Amino acid sequence: MNDSAPEAIADAPGGVVWALRDAANEATRHLRAVPRSPELLVFSALQPIMFVVLFRYVFGGSIEIPGMSYAQYLVPGIFAQTVLFGSAFTGVGIAEDMSKGFVDRLRSLPISPAAVLLGRTFSDLVRNILTFVIMLGVAFLVDFRFQGGLVRGLAATALLLAFSYSFSWIQALIGLSVKSVEAANSAGFIWMFPLTFVSSAFVQTDKMVSAFRWFAEINPFTIVTNASRALYSGTDPGDTVWQSLLWALGITVVFSTLSVRKFLATSN
Amino acid sequence: MPLVEVSGLTRSFGDTNALAGLDFEVERGTVLGMLGPNGAGKTTAVRILTTLLRPNAGTALIDGINVATEPRRIRTRIGLTGQYAAVDERLTARENLQLIGRFFRMNKADSRERAAELLAKFRLEEAGDRVVSGFSGGMRRRLDISMSLVARPIVLFLDEPTTGLDPRSRMEMWDLIDELTADGMTTLLTTQYLDEADRLADQILVIDHGRGIATGTADELKDRVGGARVSFDVGDAAPEAVLAGIGELRSALGEPFTADGAFVVPVRPGTTAPQVMRSLMSAGIDVVDFELQRPTLDDVFLTLTGRPAEEVVADE
């Protein structure tokens, strides 16, 4: 069979190590673009900054939170919402690569299919961290503090990022399933508004209408917001930390499996 | 043994049979031009051969390797340039090329060297470190093709490589493909244009509704279609006078007919348009307008199927 081949061709090696290297190369592709359009980062931080200012200074005067300043209550909620919205980059980016034929190019290369999605979600995590740094600066300006100390503050931040990373996989599935970048944008964002607003992020859940209150209290977004808020403020998070981690892990496992399967099956 | 062997390839999308038993072969070092209208199944065939799509039935072998069962081995051996320039606009041309090299398991030094080589070969050296979003359509296509060649594939797939390009970029692309195939690159290209297949391909496969309906060299196909025609407007001159004017050339021409008020005469190989022009003028016929018409995809279809090329909208 091979005697007529022009030269011996080594088959590309596979395995986990190569898959991780492929993912790193793919992540580098996206991260190279970040410093080339810094305005994208600024814009993704702009909306949460506006929210901080609006809620803190416009609504904040009418909102009483027992035992805590409104800034201290609000900022973890805005952080949580920001990183969650940041996950939508994943879906939009994938839809863009699909519409431009780049996904076809990647699928015709001898690389691990999981690596493409892994690289994408990882680069969006890094982008989310950069947005977070900008947000943190603004939060300190409105008198938000790591009242629980630096270690708990960092733990709270890591928890939020882990949660948003799991949502990147939901967005990946959306990006792979829709037919255009615009659709990925709408489909990626629309459900995140009720998810983040019907929660404990902006106000306490106990004064909500009963149906909303019921949803707000089982909402994983409420759980992760409460967990990070407790850690930032130095109060007892109760069961919320491990519950948040469980949610993040569950969502990651389910949606990464579905996304990789979808990626392999695209147009098959 | 042919490098690419396809037999009985079938693929449907819902109720649409995109491929309905396609057979063809591509010999080493040759260019096969797959010619057909939109929706004839060209892209579906390319997608199956490049492992992006699985066939419902039939087999496709590249260098004896089954495309459907060993996609990973196929992927180290092929280069694909699709209908859209699949380049990352946010990166420089060099970064795009190095990225592909890294994906093919080259080390940093090798991928850098290969990128520099390809930038030079594709006249992108000067623009190599510029971000691709500022590139012209022609430059993008050149980069796109060069990205397909990073790992020195044994067969190159070009899916409508000149669609959407302006005439000048189209000519440049033809020259570029000529250079590649002069180096002995085995190539499968798809096109909707007979002149493109004529210019670039050693063998042409005409496909229609997912099936090959004719195959041969460009000259063989053109012979079947009847080759070129001249069309001329003779103003008020009487048809008899025109026929008399063509005179002794009559035997070298096909049966004349009129279309849109103009005389159309098929030209057999060996006769040139200027000869027809000269004989008309020496007969004192006042030629108002004179045009050489080359056969198009429509003519090929008209001859082979008795109907013009029709687009099938639902491809995939």
Question: Are the beta carbons of B90 and A36 separated by less than 8 Å?
Answer: yes
Q: What is the average pLDDT value for chain B, to the nearest integer? A: 87
CB-nearest partner of B86 from A28, A37, A104: A104
Distance of CA A148 to the CA centre of its chain: 24
CB-nearest partner of A107 from B52, B131, B154: B52
SS3 A82: helix
Please report, for residues B98, B118, B126, B278, the alpha-carbon distance to residue B129 in angstroms, rounded to integers and kept in the order given. Answer: 12, 13, 7, 55
The pLDDT tens digits for A179-206 are: 899 999 999 989 999 999 999 988 888 8
Cα gap B238→B258, rounded to integer Å: 12
E strands, B262-312, are 262-266, 289-293
Lowest mean pLDDT among A26-30, B32-36, B161-165: B161-165
**What's the confidence (pLDDT) of residue A1?**
31
Closest CA to A65 of A233, A243, A209: A233
Res B94 pLDDT > 90: yes
**What's the confidence (pLDDT) of residue B220?**
82
SS3 B251: helix
Strand B78-81 relative to strand B155-159: parallel, antiparallel, unpaired?
A: parallel
**What's the confidence (pLDDT) of residue A65?**
86
Residue B10 φ/ψ, nearest 5 degrees: -130, 140
Architecture of domain B228-293: 2-Layer Sandwich (3.30)
Query: Which residues contact residue B40 at a Cβ distance below 8 angstroms, ignoring those fewer than 6 apart?
Result: B207, B208, B209, B210, B312
Closest CA to B60 of B1, B3, B9, B2: B9
CB-nearest partner of B83 from A4, A9, A101: A101
The CATH number of B4-223, from 3.30.565.10, 3.40.640.10, 3.30.70.360, 3.40.50.300, is 3.40.50.300
Residue range A51-62: mean pLDDT, rounded:
84
Question: Are the beta carbons of B103 and A22 separated by less than 8 Å?
Answer: yes
Question: Are the beta carbons of B103 and A109 separated by less than 8 Å?
Answer: yes
Our CA dihedral for B79, B212, B9, B32, rounded to 10 degrees, sits at -20
Question: Are the beta carbons of A33 and B64 separated by less than 8 Å?
Answer: no
Res B145 pLDDT > 90: yes
Instruction: Spell out a b/e string for B80-117, using b for 16 or more CB atoms within 10 Å of the CB, else e.
Output: bbbbbbbbbbbbbbbbbbbbbbbbbbbeeeebbebbee
Radius of gyration, CA atoms only, chain B: 23
Q: What count of CB pairs under 8 Å joins A to B? A: 91
Question: Are the beta carbons of A4 and B77 separated by less than 8 Å?
Answer: no
Strand B203-208 relative to strand B31-35: parallel, antiparallel, unpaired?
A: parallel
What are the tokens at A34? 């970040």
Res B21 pLDDT > 90: yes
Residue range B2-29: mean pLDDT, rounded:
94
Res A96 pLDDT > 60: yes
Res A63 pLDDT > 90: no
Q: Can B4-223 and B228-293 be said to share one CATH topology?
A: no
Cβ(A204)–Cβ(A226) under 8 Å?
A: no
The number of residues making up chain B comes to 316
Distance of CA A264 to the CA centre of its chain: 23
What are the tokens at A79? 């952080």
What are the tokens at B230? 């001249």
Question: Are the beta carbons of B91 and A25 separated by less than 8 Å?
Answer: no
The pLDDT tens digits for A141-172 are: 988 999 999 999 999 999 999 999 999 999 99
Question: Are the beta carbons of A101 and B84 separated by less than 8 Å?
Answer: yes
Across-strand partners of B78? B155
Cα gap B98→B92, rounded to integer Å: 10
Residue A94 class from Cβ within 10 Å (0-12 exposed, 13-18 middle, 19+ buried)? buried
**What's the confidence (pLDDT) of residue A4?**
34
Most distant CA pair in chain B, distance: 76
Pick the residue with more confidence: B47 or B249? B47
Cβ(B26)–Cβ(B2) under 8 Å?
A: yes
Where are chain A's structural domains? 16-26+38-60+67-265
Residue range B71-82: mean pLDDT, rounded:
92
Cβ(A93)–Cβ(A126) under 8 Å?
A: no
Q: How far apart are the first and last CA of chain A?
A: 29
**What's the confidence (pLDDT) of residue B310?**
65
Where are chain B's structural domains? 4-223, 228-293
Element (H, E) at B158: strand B155-159
Q: Which of the residues A104, A106, A127, A266 would you substitute to probe the B interface, choosing the one with the greatest number of B C-beta atoms within 10 Å?
A: A104
**What's the confidence (pLDDT) of residue B257?**
74
Cα gap A228→A224, rounded to integer Å: 6
The pLDDT tens digits for B164-205 are: 888 888 998 999 999 988 888 999 999 998 889 989 999 999
**What's the confidence (pLDDT) of residue B230?**
81
**What's the confidence (pLDDT) of residue A6?**
40
Residue range B25-52: mean pLDDT, rounded:
93
Sheet holding B289-293, edge to edge: B257-259, B262-266, B229-233, B289-293
State the residue for tokens 């001898």: A110
What are the tokens at B218? 């460009």
Closest CA to A82 of A118, A122, A41, A120: A41
DSSP state of B267: B
Task: Compute the C-alpha angle B266/B163/B166, nearest 5°.
Answer: 85
Question: Are the beta carbons of B90 and A33 separated by less than 8 Å?
Answer: yes
**What's the confidence (pLDDT) of residue B54?**
92
User: Which chain A positions have a beta carbon within 8 Å of B76's beta carbon?
Assistant: 9-12, 110
Q: Which of the residues B77, B78, B105 would you substitute to probe the A interface, choosing the one with the greatest number of A C-beta atoms within 10 Å?
A: B105
Pick the residue with more confidence: A66 or B131? B131
State the residue for tokens 């396809």: B6
pLDDT band at residue B82 under the 50/70/90 scheme? confident
Element (H, E) at B277: helix B273-282
B35: left (phi over 0), alpha (psi -120 to 50) or beta: beta
Question: Are the beta carbons of B72 and A110 separated by less than 8 Å?
Answer: yes
pLDDT band at residue A38 under the 50/70/90 scheme? confident
**Quick one: what percent of chain B has pLDDT higher than 70?**
95
What are the tokens at A59? 């609504």
SS3 A197: helix
Pick the residue with more confidence: B239 or A45? A45
Q: Which of the residues A31, A41, A89, A108 would you substitute to probe the B interface, choosing the one with the greatest number of B C-beta atoms within 10 Å?
A: A108
Q: Which of the residues B88, B107, B108, B110 would you substitute to probe the A interface, choosing the one with the greatest number of A C-beta atoms within 10 Å?
A: B88
Distance of CA B237 to the CA centre of its chain: 41
